[in-house]
Structure 1
Amino acid sequence: MRFRSLRRAAQALTVLGAAFALAAAGPAVSARAATPTLPDLNITGTYVTGVSSGGFMATQLQVAYSGTFDGAGVFAAGPYDCGQGHVIKFVTCDLGLGVDDLERQAEDWASEGRIDPVANLRGKPVYTYHGYLDPVVNPLVSRAGVDFYRHFGADVTYHDSDPAGHSWPTPDGVVPCALTLPPFLNDCHNDPQREMLTTWLGGVNPRNTGTPKGTLTHFDQNAYAPGGSARALSMDSTGQLYVPPACANGAPCKLVVALHGCLSAQQLLGTAFAEKGNLDTYADTNNLVVLYPQAVSSVWPVNPQGCWDWFGYTGSDYAVKSASQMTAIVDMVHALGACQVRTTHDPHRTRTEQDRTGPKGTEQGGAGRG
């Protein structure tokens, strides 16, 4: 086990060196004109997903803001606060601080009000994906994430049977399933996004395989960053938003926050994650809005790979509600019309209720799942 972990660490350092070279070369795409703010939409449920560092960040958001997010999708990542303030923990967190300690820490932080009550996680749908050829995230780390959620009563679906590398698997992928290569969009000849959305919503319409119906736009992330500077948080000045026509016209829609991984932000890959990630295709046919926040490589904070902060490069509070990156993303979610939810439970079903006021003061509500 020690040899495998050291080998994974060496591979990670190799990728880190490549990241420095990419960062030095500058962005692969030029910045696009951005709309100043996000539109206020009729959002009736909010979900978060991500891959690699985005997968860890998705877990952080789901746990810290469990009153806001109705479900999570975690790809190639592990349990809440697995990093414990050290980037190397992404290959060894299962060998150091145990998942029991992470569970107790979450309970303590919830009791202190630093994160939402962990009781909110009970019954919430969580989809977890891990390829067994992933050279970066130890399979025990992924399993620890599943165990963490199940400890708090979440309804977890675990897909770990694909010979996938460290990637976001998608039927529109351009990398063979087993490899770990940019743009980390792998084709494993299946459809994990449909599985994830079905886990969340109970069923989905077939995806749109033709011309996109919605519009992918860029918006100003500075408007939502604490202090007004996204770059100071290692976030790009613009993010991306996909809105189908029905949602733009006021129809009730679910919101999906989708977080890219390291070396996968628009700084290097443009709109590849949105265009090939297979979420916009389902957004068109299922009334989903997809928010793509963007991290960026930076010298300070020290983040050469353009990763999301799941190990503390923005400060020691990176995993709690006061974390600067999570605060920015949640402010984006609220700007789009989603508000904190109140979850109630009975022995037969999970019901999520929203307390929200529409853009003109009218009460609106909707189910978070179903």
Structure 2
Amino acid sequence: MSHVVSALVFAVALFAGVTADPASGAERLAPYGANLSQTSVSGLSSGAAMALQFHVAHSGVVKGAGIIAGVPYDCAERSLPRATSNCMHPDATHPVPDPAHLKDLTDALARAGDIDDVANLNGARVWLFSGRKDETVFPVVMDAARDYYAYYVPPDGIVYRNDIGAGHALVTEDYGDRNCGATKSPYIVDCDFDSAKALLEQIYGPLNPASAQNAGKYVEFDQKEFLPDGNAYVHSMSDVGYAYIPHVCAMEPCRVHVALHGCKQQAAEIGDAFYKHAGYNRWAETNHIIVVYPQTISRLGWGFPFYTLNFVWNPNACWDWWGYDSADYPTKKGPQIAAIRAMVDRLATKP
């Protein structure tokens, strides 16, 4: 999300552009018999927007969410200008979207069956974060995300941290840029605060102490099979996703947490900084949690073959929170949301 604005200054592209996928050799994501009802999700920036969308769309199975520098549900309402103004840099002429209006949109989608029954959110556990020095998504937008959730989630189910001088980045205890207020690649900052622990603890309750050394395995898995048409590129997703599997999860049921990177934070751009060092895995190792790290790619213009008319304007590998891929982007029918749900369902399938 932090670089969505740059899309507005380009002319219409005639040819496709794509960031190369990470190393080949991806395997089929294996089933582990995970507990589907203990699924959770979190994300930064566009990943936070997608995390909130996924939570609302699949509230029947998603126990809780961690939203870091995100936006309220369907904030953009299928408009890129609205996304980059009202939902990121609101001002007097582009006010923050009204949470009550977004609630009405949500309720209508639920009545139509496009998302799960919003009554499920009554039992949700939510952790929200906005850095005091975030100039990419103004803190007032996260205030609106809090107010949106408050329509559905009881007060004791919501924790909102906005007291740390962080920039537009994922906050860790000991990894990333030592300047906590920085907003630059890889968008991970060392603020002496463990956001992964905080959000997982809010969702799941007290955690066992973190592992000093991750003994589980990292998996590169094929994302193509989880897309409705089997074509990840068409939907601005990488052919390859990542997962961290604690050893214990091969022997007994675990929970699943989906961690979604932000714009320009995909593995093709920043390597393993997010899926190995964002702080999730050391808590997952000792708390029976499989962590899935789905991946996007950069798409700029027409795809191939041209006669398919597959035009995607996503030069910074953001998750779809304004409709670049599908008008159904915030619902269960949205291709990216459907793909993530299919990944979770695979992990919940018995071996």
CA–CA separation in structure 1 for the residues paired with 2:165 and 2:234: 38
CA–CA separation in structure 2 for the residues paired with 1:141 and 1:33: 40
Using the TM superposition, give the Cα deviation of residue 30 of structure 1 relative to its aligned residue in structure 2, in angstroms. 4.1
Query: Are residue 50 (structure 1) and residue 51 (structure 2) matched?
Result: no
Using the TM superposition, give the Cα deviation of residue 167 of structure 1 relative to its aligned residue in structure 2, in angstroms. 0.6
Q: Is the 8 A contact 1:91 1:138 kept in 2?
A: no
Q: Is the 8 A contact 1:12 1:136 kept in 2?
A: no
Q: How does 1:221-232 map to 2 (within 5 A)?
A: 221-232=223-234
CA–CA separation in structure 1 for the residues paired with 2:169 and 2:232: 26
The gaps in structure 1 that reach 5 residues or longer are: 1-7, 339-357, 360-370
Structure 1 residues 291, 12: CA separation in 2 closer, same or farther (over 3 Å shift)? closer
CA–CA separation in structure 2 for the residues paired with 1:25 and 1:296: 7
**How many residues of Structure 1 are paired with residues of Structure 2 in the alignment?**
326
Q: How does 1:346-357 map to 2 (within 5 A)?
A: none
Which residue is 1:13 aligned to?
5
Q: Which structure exhibits the higher relative contact order, with contacts defined as CA atoms closer than 8 Å and separated by 6 or more residues?
A: 2
Amino acid at match of 1:289: I
**Cα shift readout 1:147-192 (whole Å, capped 9, x = no counterpart):** 1111112411001101000011112322121010000011111112
Which residue is 2:13 aligned to?
none
Give the TM-score, by structure 2 length.
0.87
CA–CA separation in structure 2 for the residues paired with 1:100 and 1:13: 26
CA–CA separation in structure 2 for the residues paired with 1:56 and 1:171: 23
| Aligned counterpart for 2:185 among listed residues 182, 191, 194 | 182
Which residue is 1:244 aligned to?
246
CA–CA separation in structure 2 for the residues paired with 1:43 and 1:286: 13
Give the TM-score, by structure 1 length.
0.83
Which residue is 2:126 aligned to?
126
Q: Is the 8 A contact 1:36 1:220 kept in 2?
A: yes
Which residue is 1:258 aligned to?
259
Query: Are residue 31 (structure 1) and residue 13 (structure 2) matched?
Result: no
Aligned-partner SS, 1:239: strand
| Aligned counterpart for 2:86 among listed residues 87, 92, 95 | 92
Amino acid at match of 1:286: N
CA–CA separation in structure 2 for the residues paired with 1:69 and 1:303: 27
**Superposition CA RMSD, Å:** 2.3
Query: Are residue 328 (structure 1) and residue 328 (structure 2) matched?
Result: no
Which residue is 1:167 aligned to?
169
Structure 1 residues 181, 112: CA separation in 2 closer, same or farther (over 3 Å shift)? same
CA–CA separation in structure 2 for the residues paired with 1:138 and 1:87: 17
Aligned-partner SS, 2:348: coil
Which residue is 2:268 aligned to?
267
CA–CA separation in structure 2 for the residues paired with 1:135 and 1:115: 32
Which residue is 1:208 aligned to?
211
Q: Is the 8 A contact 2:19 2:298 kept in 1?
A: no
CA–CA separation in structure 2 for the residues paired with 1:288 and 1:109: 31
Amino acid at match of 1:245: H
Aligned-partner SS, 2:127: strand
Using the TM superposition, give the Cα deviation of residue 254 of structure 1 relative to its aligned residue in structure 2, in angstroms. 1.1
Off by >6 Å, runs of 4+ in structure 1: 15-18
The gaps in structure 2 that reach 5 residues or longer are: 11-15, 301-310
CA–CA separation in structure 1 for the residues paired with 2:192 and 2:145: 25
Q: Is the 8 A contact 1:172 1:277 kept in 2?
A: no
Aligned-partner SS, 2:201: helix
CA–CA separation in structure 2 for the residues paired with 1:207 and 1:274: 16
CA–CA separation in structure 2 for the residues paired with 1:51 and 1:91: 18
Which residue is 2:287 aligned to?
286
CA–CA separation in structure 2 for the residues paired with 1:30 and 1:116: 34
Identical pairs, percent: 35
